[in-house]
């Protein structure tokens, strides 16, 4: 059987006129049984239906901060704005993916995009949000911290991973605030930060705030890529 083809969105490089993609995304998809395919975003949006024709699933990858105008705010002083071309492409791609019920996994920015696409909002700078404990969700000195995530009963993430308490990594300063239409929270960290969302009415529309691609050697985290690949195989 040919492997399901998983499109992976790419990020902006610090160098001008280049894309970049951390290798761990493609490696994780391949390890889970999929065939990874990177998707350039400086693309005429009219090509998106044909791009989606090629794909069995889509991984919306990490990146910089969405324009908060999408949820009626202005950029926080600490924001690192996303390339507007990337935001435009990914919103249009997500609309096509949703319309055709193509299985989708969002990671970090990808998860935030799912929420904002559905009319939700984000907390723009977690260090300023009152929380129960002093968990650091940002990367510190180049190292991702780790914290617990409790997965809620009945979520596809819990079903895929097979246990409700996992040890996630963390490299984000934003998180879901108002949950978007049709989405539900899949889990939270001990300080109450929302660590993922899903739309249970679609074959797979799951976003996680952590970085499972950096932990593909751990079964709990590879399980999310297996879920994406399995749903993509079932859709063919
Ligand atoms: Mn976190």
* 138-183 confidence digits (pLDDT tens): 998 888 899 999 999 999 999 999 999 999 999 999 999 999 999 9
The CA-atom distances, in angstroms, between 31 and each of 73, 183, 192 are 39, 28, 32
Ligand 1 centre to CA of 186 (Å) is: 13
Confidence of residue 120 (pLDDT cuts 50, 70, 90): very high
What CATH number is given to the structural domain containing 20? 3.40.50.880
Residue 132 above 90 pLDDT? no
Ligand 1 centre to CA of 53 (Å) is: 34
Q: Which of 90, 195, 198, 213 is catalytic?
A: 213
- Give me the chain's average pLDDT, please: 96
Cα–Cα distance for residue pair 10/23, rounded to 1 Å: 11
- Domain containing residue 11: 5-235
Q: Which of 137, 147, 172, 211 is catalytic?
A: 211
Looking at the structure of the chain, the number of domains it has is 1
pLDDT tens for 53-77 read 999 999 999 999 999 999 999 999 9
Beta strands (DSSP E) in the chain are: 5-9, 11-12, 19-20, 35-39, 57-60, 104-107, 122-123, 145-151, 165-170, 175-176, 184-188, 194-198, 205-208
Give ion ligand 1 contacts, CB < 5 A. Answer: 137, 170
> Does residue 73 have an active-site annotation?
no
Q: Which of 108, 172, 195, 198 is catalytic?
A: 108
Confidence of residue 1 (pLDDT cuts 50, 70, 90): confident
> Does residue 211 have an active-site annotation?
yes
> Does residue 137 have an active-site annotation?
no
């Amino acid at each position: 059987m040919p492997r399901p083809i998983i499109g992976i969105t790419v990020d902006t490089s610090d160098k001008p006129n280049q894309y970049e993609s951390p290798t761990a995304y493609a490696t994780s998809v391949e390890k889970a049984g999929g065939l990874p395919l990177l998707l350039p975003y400086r693309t005429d949006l009219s090509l998106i239906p044909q791009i989606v024709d090629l794909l069995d699933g889509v991984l919306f990858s990490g990146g910089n901060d969405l324009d908060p105008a999408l949820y009626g705010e202005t950029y926080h002083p600490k924001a690192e704005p996303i390339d507007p071309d990337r935001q435009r492409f990914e919103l249009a791609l997500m609309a096509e993916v949703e319309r055709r019920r193509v299985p989708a996994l969002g990671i970090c920015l990808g998860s935030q995009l799912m929420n904002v696409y559905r009319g939700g909002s984000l907390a723009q700078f977690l260090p300023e949000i009152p929380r129960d404990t002093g968990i650091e969700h940002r990367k510190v000195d180049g190292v991702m911290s780790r914290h617990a995530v409790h997965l809620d009963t009945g979520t596809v993430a819990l079903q895929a991973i097979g246990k409700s308490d996992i040890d996630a990594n963390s490299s984000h300063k934003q998180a879901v605030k108002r949950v978007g239409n049709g989405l539900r929270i899949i889990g939270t960290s001990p300080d109450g930060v929302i660590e993922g969302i899903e739309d249970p009415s679609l074959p797979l529309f799951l976003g996680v705030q952590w970085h499972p691609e950096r932990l593909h050697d751990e079964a709990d985290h590879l399980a999310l890529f297996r879920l994406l690949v399995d749903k993509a195989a079932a859709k063919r």
